[in-house]
Amino acid sequence: MSRFAAVIFDLDGVITDTARYHYLAWKRLAESQGVHFDEAFNEHLKGIDRMGSLELILASATRRYSDAEKLALATEKNEHYKELIATMTPSDLLPGAVAALDDCRAAGLKIGLASVSRNAFTVLDRLGITGKFDYVVDAGTIAKGKPDPEIFLKAARELRVTPDACFGVEDAVAGVSSIKAAGMYAVGVGDPQVLAAADIVIPDLTQFRLEQYK
């Protein structure tokens, strides 16, 4: 593990599954605008920030929206989402998540979080794991969402580690692209065929093994 000094995790789909809450919130909003929304549509939103996701949904609407209307809709979705995540507890941590974080700490790695969710701090607090991270990127300070590398580069900069000394952990295609564009080693979590651009793919964090990442 001498090559790496830090690890940067994504949140949704890696450490916890807030995807179902996002799905329910986006589905209600989309259907309120006459747009059909199902699991297949939802897959296209993985790793995309809120306004980017809204743009994809409204592209299927029958009318155009002003910037003010888009902002109102994004706010409406977020308020519903916040109501849903307020029910989260540590039991919502995905299998292997805490062990993976603890293994990284034991190995002396700095630990960052790079989530495009503007509710990441709330989710971490609900899960009881805020203190396990050395730095959490505030998505509100990021100009470009994934697959742009900005969020991972900011995490590395704040952790005071060069990008080539970091590896990222992601479950989305856009996230893996973001990691690679930042010049980092990418650990994908999910389907190897979907996350083909990752350097290595594991099914979930129960299979997280530091010695395999080189």
Q: Is residue 1 part of a domain?
A: no
pTM for this model (two decimals): 0.84
Residue 164: active-site member: no
For residues 128 and 109, give the distance between their C-alpha atoms in angstroms, rounded to a whole number. 20
171 is in an annotated binding site: yes
- Residue 31 counted as domain residue: yes
The CATH number covering residue 202 comes to 3.40.50.1000
Sorted by sequence, the CB contacts under 8 Å of residue 3 that are 6+ apart come out as: 165, 214
191 annotated as ligand-binding:
no
pLDDT at 2: 61
Among residues 38, 58, 85, the one where a domain terminates is 85
CATH number of the domain bearing residue 80 = 1.10.150.240
Which pLDDT value is given to residue 49? Answer: 81
Q: Is 116 annotated as a binding residue?
A: yes
- Residue-wise pLDDT tens digits, 156-209: 999 999 999 999 999 999 999 999 999 999 999 999 999 999 999 999 999 999
Nearby residues of 14 by Cβ (< 8 Å), 6 or more positions away: 94, 97, 169, 170, 171, 189, 205
Residues 27, 122, single domain; the answer is: no
Active-site entry in 12, 125, 134, 204: 12
Residues 120 and 184 both lie in one domain: yes
Q: Last residue of a domain, which of 32, 54, 85?
A: 85
pLDDT given for residue 55 in this prediction = 95
Q: Are residues 167 and 94 in the same domain?
A: yes
Are both 98 and 196 inside the same structural domain?
Answer: yes
**Is residue 119 marked as binding?**
yes
Residue 35 pLDDT class (50, 70, 90 cuts): very high
Q: Is 138 a catalytic residue?
A: no
| 116 shares a domain with 64 | no
Residues 6 or more apart in contact with residue 22 via CB below 8 angstroms? 12, 42, 45, 81
Same-domain pairing of 47 and 36: yes
CA dihedral 81, 86, 89, 92 (to 10 degrees): -10
Instruction: Determine the Cα–Cα distance for residues 42 and 134; give it in Å rounded to an integer.
Output: 31
Is 78 annotated to bind ligand? no
Angle at 74 between CA 68 and CA 77, to 5 degrees: 140
Q: Between vectors from CA 43 to CA 41 and to CA 48, what angle results, nearest 5°?
A: 105
Each residue of 60-87: pLDDT tens digit? Answer: 999 999 999 999 999 999 999 999 999 9
* Tally of domains in the chain: 2
Per-residue pLDDT, averaged over 141-168, amounts to 96
Structural domain containing residue 24: 19-85
Burial class of 202 by CB neighbour count within 10 A (0 to 12, 13 to 18, 19+):
buried
Same domain for 81 and 43:
yes
Q: Give residue 70's identity as a one-letter amino acid code.
A: K
* Half-sphere CA count of 112, side-chain side, radius 13 A: 28
User: Do residues 142 and 178 both lie within one domain?
Assistant: yes
Residue for token pair 């986006």: 26
Determine the Cα–Cα distance for residues 170 and 152; give it in Å rounded to an integer: 11
Residue identified by tokens 């730095």 is: 135
Tell me the residue type at 148.
D
Q: Annotated binding residue at 70? A: no
